[in-house]
Amino acid sequence: MKEERVLLAHGGGGTMMHNLVGETILGKLGNPILNALGDSAVLEFGDRRIAFTTDSFVVQPLFFKGGDIGKLSVCGTVNDLAMAGARPLFLSLGFIVEEGLEGEILERILESIRAAAEEAEVRVVTGDTKVVEKGKADGIYINTSGVGEIRPGVSIAAENAKPGDAVLINGNMGDHGIAVISEREGLSFETEICSDCAPLNHLASRILDVCDEVHCFRDPTRGGVAATLNAIAGQAKVRIELFEKDLPVSPGARGACDLLGFDPLYVPNEGKMLVICPEERAETVLNEMRSDGYGRDSAIIGRVTEEGEGVVLLHTRIGGMRIVDMPYGEQLPRIC
Amino acid sequence: MTARTPARRCIEEIRSLAEKIPSPPLRLMEVCGTHTVSIARNGIRDILPENISLLSGPGCPVCVTPDGVIDAAISLAEDPRVIIATFGDMMKVPGTEKSLERARAEGADVRMVYSPTDALRFAREYPDRKVVFIAVGFETTQPGNALTIERARADGLKNFFVIPAGKLIPPAMAALLEDSDSRIGGFICPGHVSVIIGADAYAPIVEKYGKPCVVAGFEPEEILEGIAMFLGMAVEERPEVVIQYRQCVDRAGNLRAREILNRVYHPADSEWRGLGVIPESGFELNDEYADYDAFRHFGIEPRPSRERKGCRCGEVLQGKVEPFECALFSRACTPEHAVGPCMVSSEGTCGAYYRYNRKKM
């Protein structure tokens, strides 16, 4: 490791985390499957392909507008599977509980896990519970892992993005990050902002039903749309150009971002997906997305323009152009 | 709110006025981090005519804080009795050996706050600890800090202190123009600061140095309109202070906020990173509030600023070089491994260039 100690910034989804994962972790544990660093590992069993993923949840506070740690722990893993083009099937559930957590809180979290699993049509099939002394964990931490079966015939990976592709998103950016930070800091805004936390597997499946040429799905969680598109641009070695006027942000989230000094492009989402597909199919995909409950505000936000250095650029509202860079350090800790 | 002039019209006006500007090129300096970021984020430099350029001045409170003050804050953070409360940007600024962020990873109690009242809350919650708030900022944020100090006194809190690192903008603008190497043709004055101090605060600068000043808002259209207004004055050679940001700024400023400032602070000579000591440019606590001064309480005297080898933040802050001209920029100095403060702060000039404009398009 470059640094002597782990800093919060190492968990931020930005360059430092990419270095930690890419150098320190892959350096010891790298193998062809892990090295792909997709949202899910893709495992081949004969002609069947299984997606396998894991995610840990340490959000603080445990409950926020539009969701809680339980819902998040199901949606996060379900979405990672869905972004690999898989139908999520089974989840594992690991709890690390702090001594003294109220039973009622644990039950509320379990109920929300149940409801989210039901909506996503996945089953929790194995689990583990550990309790640690008071003060050693912040209420509860949850880990979920999941497996799903990848739809035959689809090939979804960041490297597939190529010039001539359109970039779409299924709605407003930044609501999750703003909802959690508002709850944590006791901030209130004129319009209440709810987390977008949602399982996206049904939406992803509908998109693949109308367009089997989708090149890439990614959920812009930590580091937001900016970090995710930079990762895609880097892996595919392409230039992605976005149009500021087309970026969907709710007025409430925009106001909150202005006040807090955040850029909505960098604020985490938990119910958003980026879709990269050939431009000529973009309208069809967009219409399908807009007809889904989790895609009403979908928009085409940019294009993949050329091969070369992986970079994301933004055409500003007033006709200028700027870089949309990978975020640095930890912007919003403990958001998921 | 007044309707903004559309960007397209402002750009046309800027182009036609720029044709009337005699050589050499005209350089406007903005002295506000929010402007710096808005200009970079919106790609405003790209769309200006070649003979009009924008310089970024000492408008980022974190960047102008001398590194001696940062080191002093870190040494306080390492005292187990102390809780340091600070705005987030301050966390990563490198001191001589480490940053507050690193001190925190090593066990120091450093907490990020959004408001000085959060620091006051810590003081109430932890009566056995000493809470030190790093009060960086310009005229915009200092009234809030002043009110917090008054509140601490009213509540009889004995464990709340501030590092008085607040600064005044107009003395720094004057100091920049005093420099014989100055390339500054005039100022885009800070919007938020001007809400408090009023546009008339810049009148002495216009009078003494003959440089136009325009107080602009932060939306790209507002900045463009401000530039057009500035060029109008430059073409007609009638320097004045004009206000583009009319919905928030007037001539006199916020009298109540200024009164609060005067109750708690008085201007004193103050060191700015890169600019040295500027007369009457810092907020020092009045005698009746001197007990709240963390340096005085802990008996610390911050050492004078000492730039790191190769770092040109000082010249960047004076508008003498652009970040690209620093050999460290985007090589040894990046937001994650910053050498100088202008790269660390979200409002710093180097950080804004790095984030938004580093690769020429």
How many helical (H) and strand (E) elements, i.e. helices and strands, does chain B have? 16, 11
Q: Which of residues 251-290 of A touch B (CB under 8 A)?
A: 260-261, 263
Distance from B207 to chain A by nearest Cα, in Å?
34
Note the pLDDT tens digit of each residue in A72-129.
999 999 999 999 999 999 999 999 999 999 999 999 999 999 999 999 999 999 999 9
Chosen domain end from A100, A123, A150: A150
> Can you give the pLDDT at residue A215?
97
Report the amino acid identity of residue B184.
Answer: I
| Beta-bridge partners for B127 | none
Closest alpha carbon within chain A to B88: A331
Nearest-angstrom CA–CA distance, A161 and A275: 10
**Neighbour count for residue B263 (Cβ, 10 Å):** 15
Residues 165-204 of chain A whose Cβ lies under 8 A from any Cβ of chain B: 185, 187
B196 close to B257: Cβ distance less than 8 angstroms: yes
Predicted confidence (pLDDT) per residue in B342-361, tens digit: 998 888 999 999 989 876 54
pLDDT at res. B174: 96
A277 with A165, same domain: the answer is yes
**The domain boundary residue, chosen from A150, A167, A187:** A150
Q: How many whole angstroms from its chain centre is CA B34?
A: 9
> Is A132 part of a structural domain of the chain?
yes
Query: Tokens 């840990």 label which residue?
Result: A56
> Is residue A264 located within the same domain as residue A167?
yes
Q: A316 and A187 in one domain?
A: yes
Helix (H, G, I), strand (E, B) or coil at B326: coil
What pLDDT does residue A329 have?
A: 67
- Average pLDDT of A231-235? 93
Percent of chain A with pLDDT over 90: 80
CB contact under 8 A, A317 and B45: no
> Is the pLDDT reported for residue B194 higher than 70?
yes
Tell me if chain A has a CB within 8 Å of the CB of B308: no
* Nearest alpha-carbon partner for B347 in B7, B72, B65, B44: B65
- Among the partner-chain residues A260, A317, A323, the one whose CB lies closest to the CB of B358 is A323
Return d(Cα A304, Cα A317) in angstroms, integer: 19
CATH number for the domain spanning A206: value is: 3.90.650.10
Q: Does residue A26 sit within a domain?
A: no
Residue found by looking up tokens 């359109």 in the block: A166
Which domain-ending residue is among A123, A150, A177? A150
Whole-number pLDDT of residue B72: 96
Domain annotation covers residue A194: yes
A138 located within any domain: yes
Angle between helices A201-210 and A282-290 (to 10 degrees): 140
Query: Is-contact B222 B247, C-beta < 8 A?
Result: no
- Examine the domain organization and report whether A56 and A135 are in the same domain: yes
Q: Are residues A221 and A110 in the same domain?
A: no
**Could you tell me if A1 lies within 8 Å of chain B, comparing CB atoms?**
no
Mutate to test the interface with B, among A267, A322, A326 (most CBs of B within 10 A): A322
Residue A23 covered by a domain:
no
CA distances from A242 to A282, A321, B38, B98 (A): 15, 10, 18, 38
CB-based contact (8 Å) between B20 and chain A?
Answer: no
Q: Is residue B335 pLDDT above 90, yes or no?
A: no
Number of Cβ within a 10 Å radius of residue B47: 19
Residues A144 and A170 in one domain: no
In a domain, A7, yes or no: no
User: Which of A17, A32, A6 minimizes the C-alpha distance to A328?
Assistant: A17
Q: What is the CATH number of the domain that holds A114?
A: 3.30.1330.10
The structure tokens listed for B121 are 């809350």
SS3 of chain A: the string is CCCCCCCHHHHCCCHHHHHHHHHHHHHHHCCHHHHCCCCCEEEEECCEEEEEEEEEECCCCCEECCEEHHHHHHHHHHHHHHCCCEEEEEEEEEEEEECCCCHHHHHHHHHHHHHHHHHHCCEEEEEEEEEECCCCCCCEEEEEEEEEEECCCCCCCHHHCCCCEEEEECCCCCHHHHHHHHHHHCCCCCCCCCCCCCCCHHHHHHHHHHCCCCCEEECCCCCHHHHHHHHHHHHHCEEEEEEHHHCCCCHHHHHHHHHHCCCHHHCCCCCCCEEEEEHHHHHHHHHHHHCCCCCCCCEEEEEEEEECCCEEEEECCCCCEEECCCCCCCCCCCCC
- Determine contact, residues B109/B76, Cβ cutoff 8 Å: no
Residues on chain A touching B40 (C-beta within 8 angstroms): 322
Residues A163 and A44 in one domain: no
B24 prior amide bond cis, ω within 30 = yes
Residues A219 and A117 in one domain: no
My answer on whether A55 and A133 are in the same domain is yes
Q: Total domain count for chain A?
A: 2
d(CA B156, CA B160): 10
Residue with tokens 């062809």: A32
Tell me, yes or no, if A8 comes closer than 8 A to chain B by beta carbon: yes
Q: Which domain holds residue A98?
A: 38-150
Bigger pLDDT: A313 vs B96: A313
Let me know if residue A12 belongs to a domain. Answer: no
**Pair (A222, A317) in one structural domain:** yes
The reply to whether A82 and A124 lie within a common domain is yes
CB-based contact A34:A41 (threshold 8 Å)? yes
Provide the mean pLDDT of chain B: 93
Give the whole-angstrom CA distance, residue A289 versus residue A215. Answer: 16
Question: What are the pLDDT digits (tens) for B261-283?
Answer: 999 999 999 999 888 999 999 99
Closest CA–CA distance from residue B356 to any residue of chain A (Å): 4
Going B205 to B207 to B209 to B213, the CA torsion angle's sign is positive
Strand pairing class (B241-243; B213-215): parallel
pLDDT tens-digit readout, A3-56: 778 888 888 767 788 889 989 999 999 999 999 888 899 999 999 999 999 999
**A323/B357 touch (CB, cutoff 8 Å), yes or no:** yes
Q: Is B245 helix (H, G, I), strand (E, B) or coil?
A: coil
For residue B3, what pLDDT is reported? 52
Q: What is the pLDDT of residue B309?
A: 86
Using the beta-carbon criterion (under 8 Å), do B40 and A322 form an inter-chain contact? yes
Residues 6+ apart with CB under 8 A from B34: B59, B190, B191, B192, B218, B347
As a dihedral over the C-alpha atoms of residue A116, residue A119, residue A123, residue A124, rounded to 10 degrees, the angle is 0
Cα A330 to Cα B218: distance, rounded to the nearest angstrom: 26
In a domain, A330, yes or no: no
Contacts of B79 (CB under 8 A, 6+ apart): B130, B298
The pLDDT tens digits of the residues spanning B65-83 come to 998 999 999 999 999 999 9
Strand blocks (E) in chain B = 26-30, 52-56, 82-86, 110-112, 130-137, 160-166, 186-189, 213-215, 241-243, 265-272, 276-285
A11 and B CB contact within 8 Å:
no
Specify the pLDDT at position B2: 44
pLDDT at B357: 85
The residue behind tokens 């944590």 is A184
* Residue contact A320–B43, C-beta within 8 A: yes
The alpha carbon of residue B139 and the mean position of all alpha carbons in its chain are separated, in whole angstroms, by 10
> Quick one: A204 and A90 in the same domain?
no
Q: B223 in helix, strand or coil?
A: helix
Smallest Cβ–Cβ distance between B346 and the set A8, A261, A313 belongs to A261
B84-130 confidence digits (pLDDT tens): 999 988 988 888 888 999 999 999 999 999 889 999 999 999 999 99
Closest CA to B271 of B289, B258, B286, B284: B284
Residue B92 has what pLDDT? 85
Are B71 and B96 contacting, i.e. CB atoms less than 8 angstroms apart? Answer: yes
Q: How does pLDDT run across A172-195, given as a tens digit for each residue?
A: 999 999 999 989 878 777 678 999
Instruction: Determine the distance from the C-alpha atom of residue B1 to the mean position of all C-alpha atoms in its chain, rounded to a whole number.
Output: 26
Backbone phi, psi, residue B132, to 5°: -115, 120
ipTM confidence score = 0.75
**Statement: residue B184 has pLDDT above 50:** yes
The predicted pLDDT at position B1 comes to 37
- Band of residue B4 on the pLDDT scale cut at 50, 70, 90: low
Q: Is the separation of the CB atoms in A21 and A10 below 8 Å?
A: no
Which helix (DSSP H) or strand (DSSP E) does residue B255 occupy?
Answer: helix B255-264
Q: Is the pTM of this model over 0.80?
A: yes
